[in-house]
Amino acid sequence: MSARDDILAALPGNAPAGTIEREAAALLLAPERPAVAPAQLEAEFLGKLTLPSVAATHDRIGSLAELPAAIARYLAGHGLPAALYLPPDPRLDACDWSTTGRRAEVAPDEPAALAIARCGIAETGSLVFETGRAAPMLPNFLTLHHIVLLAAADIVAHLEEAILPGAQPRAHYWVTGVSGTTDIEGTYVRGAHGPRYLHVILLDHLLVD
Instruction: Please say if the pLDDT value at position 8 is more than 80.
Output: no
Least confident of 45-54, 132-141, 149-158, 183-192: 183-192
Q: How confident is the model at residue 178 (pLDDT cuts 50, 70, 90)?
A: confident
Q: Closest Cα to residue 139, out of 190, 173, 105, 166? A: 105
Per the model's pLDDT, the better-predicted residue between 52 and 166 turns out to be 52
Least confident of 105-109, 124-128, 135-139: 105-109
pLDDT for position 75? 97
* DSSP E strand stretches across 10-160: 56-61, 83-85, 101-103, 112-116, 119-121, 126-130, 145-151, 155-156
Q: How confident is the model at residue 190 (pLDDT cuts 50, 70, 90)?
A: confident
Instruction: Please say if the pLDDT value at position 13 is more than 80.
Output: no
Q: Mean per-residue pLDDT for 198-207?
A: 91
Percent of the chain at pLDDT above 70?
97
- 172 strand-pairing partners: 130
pLDDT for position 1? 66
Per-domain boundaries in the chain = 36-203
Given CA atoms 102, 136, 73, 144 in this order, what sign does their dihedral have?
negative
Instruction: Say which CATH topology domain 36-203 has.
Output: Rossmann fold (3.40.50)
Q: Mean per-residue pLDDT for 78-87?
A: 94
* Vertex 95 angle, CA 91 and 97, to 5°: 125
Beta strand pairing call for 126-130 and 83-85: unpaired
Beta strand pairing call for 172-175 and 126-130: antiparallel
pLDDT for position 146? 95
pLDDT for position 199? 97
Compute the distance between CA of residue 118 and CA of residue 66 in angstroms, rounded to an integer. Answer: 19
What is the number of other CB atoms lying within 10 angstroms of the CB of residue 158? 15
CB 84 within 8 A of CB 107: no
Q: How confident is the model at residue 151 (pLDDT cuts 50, 70, 90)?
A: very high
- 175 strand-pairing partners: 127
Q: Mean per-residue pLDDT for 60-70?
A: 96
First vs last C-alpha separation in the chain: 68
Mean pLDDT of the chain: 88
Instruction: Please say if the pLDDT value at position 62 is more than 70.
Output: yes
pTM of the predicted model as reported, rounded to 2 decimal places: 0.82
Q: Mean per-residue pLDDT for 86-111?
A: 89
